[in-house]
Structure 1
């Protein structure tokens, strides 16, 4: 199949993916939607230049599209959004290289450039582009793996998507620079690989779709009751073959709570369920079941609850401490995770809480 056919097929698939993702109408999908739009614009530019150059790929290499410089920042921001980092004006700096190269694109393609050195500079940017793209993928993937939550299906699939794109890019670089595959065939294969990317992206936007809820208008059922019933059904299904007695569960949880309170093992940042199960000499599965059935929570929620309590106790004693240093001492590795659990427990963010403590301290000092 010739390159123009590959372009048209992938562009059509990209447009279809765009509408499928857009249909979900979720804020978290905005960067994925923009990623799809970027791919469409990039392919349309290449298709336009390909036809302008009498259906030769030579002009594509001489006038590459600047839109591809947006792909790395967009996936990076998907990862930041997933880890609950705040989006602020500094994030727009990630798009600065695109705007610079886009202006160069306009000058070279539409206005024309008589300067040979300027054109060489323009092409040099795209020679280092694969490493720019690879850098963003590596940083995003590393950050996701460092703050990995095994219970987050979206993050798991997002990591797989990043691994696929990175593997594809490395293979393309090896084949391209090593001249292992004909350049035009390599371009066709790489173009068709976007089909797999779009499958990943569509799955990512559908992975957190809520369970269908019964019609509450026609049924005298409370929404909270429905949620509780679904959760209970899920728990019963997970532990339907349970042989643990209530006394065993209660005894295990008492030993666990005693260990957490007296030893403060939750301050260990890489604390795992394996660590605790070996300390109290039970299997990991039994420990998970005891926490779920007896305490009605998850292991990580329980540990982070104790870390928040430790942080509050420390900040109450000395509100002048640095928040970033203190939450790390309490066992948190991620700022996003700390802020999430702190607000969940207290209803306010840590900075507001500290200001409140300082005001109360000043008030008591005055009186």
Structure 2
């Protein structure tokens, strides 16, 4: 009995740890893929324990592990990351009802294992208001993701989004096939084995996408020094006297004053170059020689100043949330530039 209770509690702790990770690292595509892989492994391990300990027909197996509910949310985060959806961080508010499901799941199973009479009523409530609607939540999440990936496919720059879209379609087809077999009275145990094999295919597929994404990121990092060398060579053969750098400087300052595009965490020097119709080389020279900074320093300084104004307007706002809204990908980066600008931490600053 103690061993079973430990497994149930451990599953709840791991689930809440996944929640915390999701809340703090929702900006990175690689982090989200890795989170999904970890979620799948933990969910499969939990189900394997339930099946082997209680069998397919057990009331415990009829209640899915609470980790399973996060897959749809993770897919939504990844999809919104692909299409650079501006308000994707608002998805974090879905974590609160999911946390309640985790606690109810753990409480229901613990009560059942201890043999409390109220356990059956709790489990009935859990099954009625969550398990019976889980298939709809899961299907809707997948359909929304697939629809958005098709609708905005021309705007998505990441070449791996097609793999991810095909992967979601495969999961949706597998899930619907399993649901139909159950509704039409097919041998559910036989199809469960087939579905398990399909599940392993899903896992291998997403692992493959993760490896490809990681390799793509490594290539970009390796190519970065080469780009800098090319830029330096362009400086040597360009007649800089014909370029009005003062005008470019004014346009840069006006952009950061009037636009909010730099608050996107995906904002790059290329985005600024396209917006101002100025070459990367000319922008780099302007930042270095006329603004005594570089693109990243200048952008993050303006983000910090924007954060200060937003916090003055809304003093009760969450500091971390505002930092993410201002384009910072991590708290450490935000604190670094805030301290550099104001010589103190946000909590120490007197607004």
Gaps of 5+ in 1: 1-25, 217-221, 229-311, 328-334, 357-367
The equivalent of 1:191 in structure 2 is: 196
Whole-angstrom CA distance in 1 between matches of 2:89 and 2:79: 17
Question: Displacement of 1:109 after TM fit?
Answer: 1.0
CA contact (8 A) 1:57 1:184 kept: no
Question: Partners of 1:146 and 1:212 in 2: how far apart?
Answer: 28
How far apart are 1:212 and its partner, in Å? 6.6
Distance (whole Å) between structure 2 residues aligned to residue 169 and residue 63 of structure 1: 17
Aligned twin of 1:49: 50
- Change in CA separation of 1:56 and 1:161 when aligned onto 2, cut-off 3 Å: closer
CA drift at 1:132: 0.5
How far apart, in 1, do the equivalents of 2:208 and 2:160 lie? 9
2:82 matched to which residue of 1? 82
1:9-20 correspondence runs (5 A): none
Post-superposition offset of 1:43: 1.7
Question: Which residue of structure 1 aligns with residue 122 of structure 2?
Answer: 118
Give CA deviations for 1:222-260 in whole Å, capped at 9, x if unaligned: 8239989xxxxxxxxxxxxxxxxxxxxxxxxxxxxxxxx
**What is the TM-score when the length of structure 1 is the normalising length?**
0.50
Determine which of 160, 169, 175 is the counterpart of 1:154.
Answer: 160
Deviations 1:264-300 (A, max 9, x none): xxxxxxxxxxxxxxxxxxxxxxxxxxxxxxxxxxxxx
Aligned length: 221
1:153, distance to aligned residue in structure 2 (A): 2.1
Answer yes or no: is the 8 Å Cα contact 1:172–1:190 preserved in 2. Answer: yes
Output the CA distance in 1 between the equivalents of 2:266 and 2:35. 29
Bigger drift between 160-169 and 59-68 goes to 59-68
Give how far 1:103 is off.
1.0
Residue 73 in 1 paired to residue 69 in 2? no
Query: Whole-Å Cα distance in 2 between the matches of residues 104 and 336 of structure 1?
Result: 37
Given that 2:51 and 2:61 are in contact with CA atoms closer than 8 Å, whether structure 1 keeps it comes out as no
Q: Distance in 2 between matches of 1:174 and 1:93?
A: 32
Residues 1:74 and 1:227: Cα distance change in structure 2 (over 3 Å): farther
Q: Distance in 2 between matches of 1:338 and 1:45?
A: 37
Deviation at residue 163 of structure 1 after TM alignment? 0.8
- Cα RMSD over matched residues? 4.0
TM-score, L = length of structure 2: 0.52
Q: What is the Cα deviation at residue 98 of structure 1?
A: 2.6
Residues in 2 aligned to 1:130 and 1:224: alpha-carbon distance in whole angstroms: 48
SS in 2 for 1:59: coil
Give the CA deviation at 1:106. Answer: 1.2
Structure 2: which 5+ residue stretches go unaligned?
Answer: 1-26, 232-250, 277-294, 307-351
The answer for the alignment partner of 1:142 in structure 2 is 147
CA distance in 1, matches of 2:176, 2:272: 41
Counterparts of 1:310-321 in structure 2 under 5 Å? none
Q: CA deviation at 1:139?
A: 1.0
* Gap change, CA 1:336 and 1:154, over 3 Å in 2: farther
